Structure 1
């Protein structure tokens, strides 16, 4: 059975009536190509409908069903990896398509689906503990995932912006889903208002680009910006800059990052984990597509701008993370929030390095962007793992201060070892070999493309980040003897937060999430080529 469905395109006659097609079908829809985001969207609707009919005590099965749906949605990726297909194409023979299932799209879709699956595991205890409405929670999570999976396959501005909004709108509700919690409501409102502003700016930029180029497809935009009337160059440059704002916002790039710390703290921990990986992937996917395809001919404009933004973002994120006090409430989540801002700076470096080659040697530019994809795969695995451990500590009724992790090794040695491994990967230290190799790949890309000054700033920031990652790691293994003595003094242990008996057993879904992410980090450390191949041109 064919995976495509022919769509007849009727041309209007002189009197306005539709005539029969003169030849064969002008357009075909490849259902296999669009299966991953479509399957997730259908699963979200199915969960919402099932929630209407399930009694309250049976709604706990919606979580496992959502996880199963994500696994099934990833199956088509296995069949698409050798096809490099596109669909929703224009019928004029220009080969301009709105959806492409190429290597870049498939890799990022796999990342989105895998990260969403781990988020489901982390979320199961939280939905029960926080008494979140199960049907609404899983529907919103799957809807946001569907939008994020559509972003990397989009090949025109309309599809790209709509996909980003489908990923964003459910996220607002997820952040504010803790009914009666003032911090959650404030976080959702701040996230919503800033995101709407960024989207409005992006749409304004897209309208400028359409006015200049007469098309919304990436290839047409790139050609149009090259061949446009010189008098329209300022308008095209303004459209280019404004269009990138919305995606920089989702990727938490400075100065569009101000929503990050408060939103992460106010949201349930699994939602913060989702935003830190899936939301960031959606934003960075859009930026990769824009700079490598739509704006490839204007690298002299966006290249220096991204380089400056990368330097400012990594510096601001690491400096703020460095200032987190061990006794501050929600300090662990806030530190991971600022850490994600700093990591966004590293992820921008290869995109800035791609600018000189984007217009003349697109395959080299894609290789530079591959370093961003490789780093993103490493970051996704270990950052989700760190959030899974944070979610467990939050279940114990603690304020998730950094000092709450003191003596974690005494009560949960495997969780402490996993947390230490995740933090060392983010820091780029052994045994987190994949973190070190990913940073070297990004660093090498900057040096090879004449951005030595940015490589120096990155090296300084890596050293700064070592302090707060190692401090947190040390806390997990420090004070084990004191914690053991505190077991005989329940009151003191409860006050100081060091008693190992105060920490409950890790819930099975959380254990599975920690185990999966730790296994991914170990496998990638043992065989870094699994992701570093993308930094060496594996996206072609």
Structure 2
């Protein structure tokens, strides 16, 4: 092998190594593994399956007639299920690939417990979204090929993001997850709300991405590396002007991820985007989009910037308090008779929930081991995903074709559809953290405990006040379900089988975890860095 070829192979950090099995000594002179290593296809299988399925759907759409277009939805749902099953062989192992072959040996893709938990959340949420979308694509006459291609592409990017261990891969994965989401929001052609929502979402996200890229550039200029491990080792040694540059880069990078997590004051795109998007897409953004944003935020703070905990810890604490307050107060102001009030309330509720999710990463800034509170965020995210998808599923099922989703339209639902009313009431009580929604109560207690353990008493008080505020609007919606009244047309027609399956699945999971919430806590606790 010629010298230029060897230099190129080393500089590109070719395929990586398998941490569980070892890869010899990749830095040893004369070793073949110092230049060429095998790709761990099992480790990268989950996002790869989703990406390949997206291409298959795009090509198949060219050859299928209109009557057979529903097959694309079945193919997409099956691919997401297969991608989720591909996580099973990775359980119990730390595997990595695309690693540097010299120097630190840092890797760009790592499949560790943190990665697997987030990928389970992302792929599970995308699969549920696919089930919700099967009837919606037909009823709203959305272009099937484009819809399923965009959904699979976004899911592939979101599944790649928690495994990324360098800033370049992290930013690329985040944009692969986000760019198809813009198109999904605006896919209802001819709808003014949909077009405006997509445009606002796109412009806001592009601005945030530009700020984040500027921050990444500053961090790279200060440390000379994009790998999170190398950045964590290099930042403490940076001082003088480079230290100022590095601190600025840390703050700008956090701003970019604050937008992706819908943290206030970068949340303004959320309500219009959720209302303008098809309801299944709004459900996808509330769960999968949020999971992708928070996983990236955790990686850059805990993995890359631990030496700057004194900077990002207070910033995240303030953002958490501001986000939960803005979200819950805005949700409290929603009127049940307004158009799209159900989706709008869930949108503002998701902003409030984002504030709760920010509490453990903020607490990590004061922890002796910054990775310890990470499990609380993932436990809360898993519990929130189940009940929030269930609530969106009921709203989607009750929404009449071509109509909006008003809370007032759910009046009298208990008389016409008692099982569905009880399911929605249970989901809302879980989000509020009230019995019998024990799953929500445990989630909030876990996050509350993370703030108290970190000495953030003031943040715990703010969270307690916001929990009380949230009780009002969740209980107000629950009360509407059991008031005498005439159910809407959407509550009278039979539910499509996929929507019935989602409501049943999320209801059973919520009940099961409410009976044994420690399972989620132990599962998420395995992700400690």
Scaled to the shorter chain, the TM-score interval is over 0.9
- In 2, distance between residues paired with 1:513 and 1:522? 14
Relative to structure 1, the CA distance from residue 191 to residue 460 in structure 2 (aligned partners, 3 Å threshold; closer, same or farther) is: same
Question: Structure 1 pair 53/461, CA: closer, same or farther in 2 (3 Å)?
Answer: same
Q: In the alignment, is residue 353 of structure 1 matched against residue 363 of structure 2?
A: yes
**Pair 1:379 & 2:384 matched:** yes
Q: Is 2:70 aligned against 1:74?
A: no
Number of the residue aligned with 1:4: none
Counting only pairs closer than 5 Å after superposition, residues 56-455 of structure 1 correspond to structure 2 as: 56-357=66-367, 361=368, 364-455=369-460
SS in 1 for 2:109: strand
* d(CA) in 1 for partners of 2:256, 2:147: 25
Unaligned runs of 5+ in 1: 1-7, 14-20, 484-497
String of CA shifts for 1:167-204, please: whole Å, max 9, x gaps. Answer: 00000100000011111000000000000000000000
Is 1:461 matched with 2:466? yes
Deviant stretches of 4+, over 4 Å: 499-502, 534-538
Deviates more, 1:90-99 or 1:113-122: 90-99
Of the three residues 509, 518, 530, the one matched with 2:498 is: 509
- Cα deviation 1:406-443 (Å, max 9, x = unaligned): 11112222211111111111100111101100100100
Counterparts in 2 of 1:354 and 1:535: CA distance versus 1, 3 Å: farther
Report the Cα offset of residue 501 of structure 1. 8.4
1:16 alignment counterpart: none
Which residue of 33, 40, 64 maps to 1:54? 64
- Does the CA-based 8 Å contact 2:135-2:498 persist in structure 1? yes
Secondary structure in structure 2 of the residue aligned to 1:351: helix
Paired residues of 2:164 and 2:170 also in contact (CA < 8 A): yes
Cα distance in 2 between the residues matched to 1:499 and 1:269: 18
Contact 1:368/1:535 (8 A) holds in 2: no
Q: Deviations over 1:93-144 (max 9, x none)?
A: 5130000000000000011000001001110111000000001100000000
Deviations 1:143-185 (CA, angstroms, capped at 9, x unpaired)? 0000000110000000000000000000010000001111100
- Would you say the 8 A contact 2:397–2:490 is kept in 1? no
Query: Structure 2 regions of 5+ residues with no counterpart?
Result: 10-28
> 2:73 touches 2:148 (CA, 8 Å); kept in 1?
yes
d(CA) in 1 for partners of 2:451 and 2:100? Answer: 37
C-alpha contact (below 8 Å) 1:396/1:504 kept by paired residues: no
Match of 1:10 in 2: 6
> TM-score, normalised on structure 1?
0.91
8 Å CA contact 1:411–1:501 kept in 2: the answer is no
Shifted more, 268-277 versus 85-94: the winner is: 85-94
**Deviation string for 1:251-278 (max 9, x for gaps)?**
1000110000000000000000000000
Bigger shift: residues 453-462 or 223-232: 223-232
CA contact (8 A) 2:117 2:524 kept: no
One of 477, 480, 492 as aligned partner of 1:475: 480
Residues 9 and 507 of structure 1, relative CA distance in 2, 3 Å threshold:
farther
How far is 1:539 from its partner? 3.3
Superposed CA deviations along residues 288-320 of structure 1, whole A, max 9, x for unmatched, are 111110011110000000000000000000000
Structure 1 Cα separation of the partners of residues 491 and 113 of structure 2: 48
Instruction: Measure, in 2, the Cα distance between the counterparts of 1:520 and 1:246.
Output: 33
Alignment CA distance shift 1:457-1:382 (3 Å): same
Q: Distance in 2 between matches of 1:108 and 1:48?
A: 26
Deviates more, 1:463-472 or 1:73-82: 73-82
Q: 1:64 to 1:537 in 2, by over 3 A?
A: closer
Post-superposition shift, 1:25? 2.6
- How much has 1:538 moved relative to structure 2? 4.8
Deviation (angstroms), 1:356? 2.0
SS in 2 for 1:11: helix
1:398, CA displacement in angstroms? Answer: 3.8
Structure 2 counterpart of 1:17: none
Describe the shift of the 1:294–1:501 C-alpha distance in structure 2 as closer, same or farther (beyond 3 A). closer
C-alpha change, 1:196 and 1:353, in structure 2 (3 Å) is same
1:253 partner SS? coil
Q: Give TM-score, length-normalised by structure 2.
A: 0.93
Asked whether the 8 Å contact 2:313–2:363 carries over to 1, the reply is yes
State the distance in 2 between where 1:396 and 1:53 align.
29
Matches within 5 A, 1:477-492: 477-479=482-484, 482-483=485-486
Partners in 2 of 1:535 and 1:23 — Cα distance?
39
Instruction: State how far apart, in whole Å, the 2-side matches of 1:501 and 1:247 are.
Output: 38
For residues 537 and 230 of structure 1, do their structure 2 counterparts lie closer, same or farther at Cα, with a shift above 3 Å needed?
A: farther
Q: Give 1:532's match in structure 2, choosing from 493, 517, 521.
A: 521
